Structure 1
Amino acid sequence: MGDREELEIFLEYLKQNQGCDLTVYKHSTLQRRLGVRMRQIGVNTYHSYIDYFKHHSEELSILLDTIFINFTGFFRDFDAWEYLANQVIPKIISRKKPHEPIRIWSASCASGEEAYTLALLFAEALGIEQYLQQVQIYATDVDEAALRQARQHCYTISEVAGVPPAFLDKYFESTSQGYVFNPTLRRRVIFARHNLLEDAPISKLDLLVCRNTLMYFNPEAQVKILIRFHFALKNLGFIFLGKAETLVSRSFLFTPVSIKHRIFSKGAKLESNDVLMLSNKPSQKNTDILIESKDLWQSAFETNPIAQLIVAPNNKLIGVNKSARNLLNMSANDLGNPLPTLPLVTQFGELNTQVEQTLQNRSSVSIKNAQWSTATRVYKLDIDIVPISDSNCRLLGATIIFKSVTN
């Protein structure tokens, strides 16, 4: 029996015996994170892991903590939040009368940083009194432990590092336990457990924030969630995604507001087949539309404002988008060449080794504060190297993402 079959048996065990359905998540992601937990307890096979579950009632909670790694932060991707504050929030407020509610959903809110970022931005725009009268923020996640942390609204000095000093002084209190978010603003944030695929979406929203969550789901689940998000938004409502995500799979449902910052507004009406997707029985047709839209995926890669390269399993370059060509002085002539022969490896000395590690171990690797020099400027870059697998867990290669952290 192959690894895929054994994984499917294990997932079916979790679904039937533990009441936990992980089948909607990408198998490649699950394999990596299951492997982490199995190595921690000295288990080598999924069959042995099932036996371990039968004798350790607390294991499901521990496993879910391993799978649902909560990576968030205040003002994560600061430029995008600045755009939201200056361009989007004023539009939302201008459409409202003083007595009309402003409804916001922070989906997959993790430990609450993004929900509280939204709260302070709306308080800043409206004033605290008007904020308390108008704004309601719903913050949800599937992870109960993360929600418990979020409800405490207390953060360490490192966790509030992304908060501008003026906001930190105005909206947080420094205590012996940490930085406590303003309890008055906190009253307008409701935290609750919510499964994006199984629970009804929160409705009549002016703004929906769901950042770097969709990428963990398989294509069928992504389609279903996007259609639920469309249903949740009011006409002209906004959706704010993470840098790693696009909406090309349902581009007619959402209109770009800022591609760079991954902000969209509600677009067309749902088609009849899409309405069916709001149930728990999605049709195959909807999934096929996403999988077969190759031209759209290629265009999304080419126009992504984040510089990206793609290498094949043999470590040859097979993709370079426009941002990478401009930043790294590359061209189409570099395609097909082994990564170690490319000039950029000279400046990024450990890059080739890290890519080889990713391809061999199928695990993501990061390089922090790498230096890249051009004729006119020196950049500091964070480099993420992420394996790419298909739905059958077959390794397709790796993507190399270059994010500027230059001051």
Structure 2
Amino acid sequence: MSTSEVNPEFDALLHYLKQNCGYDLTGYKPDSLMRRLQRRMQQLGIENYTSYLQYLQAHPQECAPLLDTILINFSGFFRDRNAWDYLANTIIPQIITSKQPYERIRVWSAGCASGQEVYTLVMLLVEILGIEQYLQRVQLFATDIDEVALKQAQQGIYNENEVADIPTQLLSKYFEQTEQGYVFCPQLRRSIIFGRHNLAVDAPMSKIDLLVCRNVLIYFKRETQASILVRFHFALTDKGFLFLGNSESLLNDRQIFIPVSLKHRIYTKGEKLGLDEHLLILPQTHNRKVVDPLTTKIHIWQAAFKTSPFAQLAVSYGGCLIVANEQAYALFGLTNSNIGALVRDLEIGQIVNSWALMRQLNRDRHPFSLKNIKWVNDNGTTYLDIHITPILDPEGKLLGANLTFIDVTQYIYLKDEIERLNSTLARVTQELHLTKEVLNSTKQELNNTQKESKNIH
């Protein structure tokens, strides 16, 4: 059966898994999904998707073994050893050198499966930094969509075959052999932040220095891969690195990532993202009809946004910075690593309350302005007029807001100067009036004195 054909039974099954099991698999390659579903159905003696859907509805516990079949969690310690050696000898030292001693080093293992690559990362970092510096400086996030695999990763227990590729000195240093198997060092294991995360749907981590996602993208459709890569671009700092698997290559039409080592599949940030790419990570905007960059509306908005003489930025409904023009970068000292961060955590958070803005836009659904907002920073005091416009989807749902900042500092100072001059003029006028009255009084007294003197004579 061709996967390009409409298959309502297959679609209904995917919809059920999304709504009732919490797994959105619509971004995965249909051919691969169908093969794995049919493998599970054959194990149960079920012939078609409709019958299997009925079986799922009657046996909710079936979700777990099905997802074990679908989400192939193949991993290994030091898989593709040359790539890990290059990472340890070249990339990680660069990351450490680029940081101040007090700065955190943030690492994200995306699609961590059962944890072998996470613990490989930990061993490399500890060998380079030392355990004390590692515990003080490194934040390591490990995420996967498969909760069963995550649980296994958190336990950090592996059998003899699974640890076969770990060098002997590292195995004895970081693992304890028990009756259950080889257990990774509890102190280091507790330092890792594990969490369930769907790369195609959920918001990415932020300010990441090293993002490891190996042989995961190959299971997704091309469009989903592009969306995930945009999220990875958001996640990385300007000097951050992306580490992919040997089976993967970047399929973006634009070079938003450039290779550091093609041989080892290590990349860093390339071109800045365009507005259409930023929109890919907004809720419900992965539909091509909504974000097709060829539409006239998007082109007009993008051109106006980029060339505006005023600082402009867009904020998602959840309060995250999703795009900014060059003027906003300069005004607020933004970097690419700030994209995707909560506005409240940025410099701009001193000026605007994104939560209050969204609440007002959600209630009123029309633009409004904030006048003469005072902003005090290291460069002095600035006054801004802020114009806020809602961003709505075709159904009228609020996706976020566009903010335009107009620097009115010189007008405020000019107004203050005019008010000061007017006040001075009024004071001088009053003093002149009083002086005139005194002069008239003195003149009158002098006339009276002269008259009295004549009368005496």
Q: TM-score range by the shorter chain?
A: 0.5 to 0.7
Indicate the SS of the match to 1:248: coil
Name the residue aligned to 2:239: 236
Indicate the SS of the match to 2:26: coil
Name the residue aligned to 1:318: none
> What does 1:355-394 align with in structure 2 at a 5 Å threshold?
none
> In the alignment, which of 249, 257, 260 is matched to residue 263 of structure 2?
260
Contact 2:18/2:25, CA 8 A, preserved across alignment: yes
Q: CA deviation at 1:61?
A: 1.6
Q: CA deviation at 1:13?
A: 3.4
Cα deviations by residue, 1:284-314 (Å, 9 ceiling, x for unpaired): 388899xxxxxxxxxxxxxxxxxxxxxxxxx
Please, which runs of 5 or more residues in structure 2 have no aligned partner? 295-457
> In the alignment, which of 77, 87, 90 is matched to residue 87 of structure 1?
90
Name the residue aligned to 1:360: none
> In the alignment, which of 167, 173, 182 is matched to residue 170 of structure 1?
173
Contact 2:115/2:153, CA 8 A, preserved across alignment: yes
Residue 282, structure 1, aligned to residue 283, structure 2:
no
Indicate the SS of the match to 2:102: coil
Q: CA deviation at 1:19?
A: 4.2
Name the residue aligned to 1:194: 197
Indicate the SS of the match to 2:77: coil
Q: 1:41 to 1:283 in 2, by over 3 A?
A: closer
Name the residue aligned to 2:228: 225
Contact 2:276/2:292, CA 8 A, preserved across alignment: no
Contact 1:209/1:241, CA 8 A, preserved across alignment: yes
TM-score of the superposed pair, with normalisation by structure 2: 0.61
CA distance in 2, matches of 1:59, 1:134: 42
Contact 1:226/1:250, CA 8 A, preserved across alignment: no
Indicate the SS of the match to 1:209: strand
Indicate the SS of the match to 2:67: helix
* Paired letter, 1:33: R
* Higher fraction of helix: 2
Name the residue aligned to 1:375: none
CA distance in 2, matches of 1:17, 1:192: 20
Residue 216, structure 1, aligned to residue 219, structure 2:
yes
CA distance in 2, matches of 1:250, 1:287: 14
CA RMSD after TM alignment: 2.0
CA distance in 2, matches of 1:251, 1:155: 41
Q: CA deviation at 1:250?
A: 4.9
Larger Rg: 2
Contact 2:107/2:211, CA 8 A, preserved across alignment: yes
CA distance in 1, matches of 2:140, 2:250: 24
* Paired letter, 2:139: Q
* Paired letter, 1:228: R
* Paired letter, 1:210: C
Structure 1 runs of 4+ aligned residues shifted over 6 Å read 285-289
> What does 1:2-401 align with in structure 2 at a 5 Å threshold?
4=5, 5=7, 6-280=9-283, 281-282=285-286, 284=288
* Paired letter, 2:175: F
TM-score of the superposed pair, with normalisation by structure 1: 0.68
Indicate the SS of the match to 1:133: helix
Q: CA deviation at 1:47?
A: 1.2
Q: CA deviation at 1:182?
A: 1.6
